[in-house]
Structure 1
């Protein structure tokens, strides 16, 4: 009884702080937890006029139909290819750019460079797609005009499957590389300067200090970021492949998000689109757990 009274007294003493939490809790309950019931649409023969509750259950019929569809697995393959290619380029490049920025001694130059790198993150994909068309178009694209004047044939960046993947990766890296450096730069500020001083006195070069001090000091951050990136391998934004892609490169630009858009919005197959979303979530969770287990096996803390 005394414990309950003490707890009640503590809550009353901090009542204004708890009151400030009410809108946040209400937001998550109303917009995050309650809508989760909509996942049941994936197990129902959903009828928009009957609603979620009145629509009849159909078990795993939707999943069976989905997994038997070649177009679905084609979209899954493209999603994994684009995400893996982007990760393969952007992840090491982000670390390299962060290390380079960390070595800059001019505060003004560093701030200007960071601002230039951060800016593309805040640009809409609609604008990025328009820029990419102006840059990579075969007929009047800036790059192809330079290529043709140099005496070479125009490169079909937006109409050839292989070149389209390259273009997609370039656009993604350009847009997000600056934003990705924020965490690494924050981690680099926490490296003990005395380690650098001791290594300098021992005759270590800048490269040796980078390899034996800087990278080991931020290794845990690198592993954590890699796990988080890997856990999103089945998730890809709708805007980039939809806006940059076209019918000529549908073989590589049709990903999970665009496939869901076409069958869910254009064809009104809500059960199918919900099943795809559930499949994505389960796949990402499994990958996250496996990546975390692997990180712990090699001596890292992981994130779970």
Structure 2
């Protein structure tokens, strides 16, 4: 009798749990409607501004006319891509874009890591906060103001850099007018503006490192350099790999606004990149189809690089985007 009562009680509990297990998606959404409402706005933003505009990518395959619209314009296939590949500007744009992008990656990627590792070793909290404030402050300067500062600092006879050059007994140098200096000015100013913000990410990763590892290293007599090599760097490696994948995925997108503002007729030979070329040809020249083809080619290259680097990172480490 007792075992029968236990079986009946278990059967009742199973029956009472069936409605919870058999709830459909609609009932689950009704139960957690606050969470779905929370993601509704960012989901709508992604759909409206990211997916719907993909319909306009067909401009690259048409002889687009605003009067005839998307479907009314003549379909020309890969003609716009062929015109770009055969144009005399193709290799110049690719070379300038790659030089600035790889230069930025080689200098700009390790700089925040080095700063974060150095700040992590500072024992004086007051000095550490001062350094963080000084390095983080340029991040809030707008691009227009930043370019104005760069032009003013490097201006012949007016900038303090030229003043230092003349104090050293050398002649004035028009830094912004020498094509070979453009990539260095662009990259180093980017590092100055973004190194503090990038270091914050790695400092957050260092804060998550198990403190017992430092205690064990101290017991073993490890030096500060050995702690950095064996504890700090492995601790920030997952975050560094993710950021490296994202940076490589944007390697063909040097950026438009800053480069365009820094351009002048004297440095165009090294400062003309794909993004500025698309703006000049597409908007200023009203050649929408050709500029769309150039931009689509640029996006496809970025996608291939992103997939390749993510695949390689997944094969050699435990960190990847997916």
- TM category, shorter: over 0.9
Does the residue aligned with 2:157 lie in a helix, a strand or coil?
coil
Query: What does 1:60-139 align with in structure 2 at a 5 Å threshold?
Result: 60-139=78-157
Instruction: Decide whether the 8 Å contact of 1:72 with 1:256 is kept in 2.
Output: no
Structure 2: segments with no counterpart, 5+ residues: 1-18
Cα deviation code 1:118-161 (max 9, x no counterpart): 22222111111111111112232211111102212233321112
Say whether 1:191 aligns with 2:209: yes
1:8 maps to 26
Q: TM-score, normalised by structure 2?
A: 0.89
Say whether 1:287 aligns with 2:305: yes
Closer, same or farther: CA 15–219 of 1 in aligned 2, 3 Å? closer
2:169 maps to 151
Larger radius of gyration: 2
**How many angstroms does 1:78 deviate by?**
0.5
* 2: CA distance, partners of 1:64 / 1:18: 46
Cα deviation code 1:13-59 (max 9, x no counterpart): 12233234333333222222111100000001100111122112111
Task: Find 1:228's aligned residue among 230, 246, 271.
Answer: 246
Say whether 1:41 aligns with 2:59: yes
Cα deviation code 1:230-273 (max 9, x no counterpart): 11110011112111121111111001111011101110111111
Structure 1: segments with no counterpart, 5+ residues: none
Instruction: Decide whether the 8 Å contact of 2:94 with 2:273 is kept in 1.
Output: yes
Q: TM-score, normalised by structure 1?
A: 0.94
Instruction: Decide whether the 8 Å contact of 1:72 with 1:259 is kept in 2.
Output: no
Greater shift in the superposed pair: 37-46 or 82-91: 82-91
Does the residue aligned with 2:75 lie in a helix, a strand or coil?
coil
* 1: CA distance, partners of 2:99 / 2:43: 38
* Matched length: 304
Instruction: Decide whether the 8 Å contact of 1:129 with 1:240 is kept in 2.
Output: yes
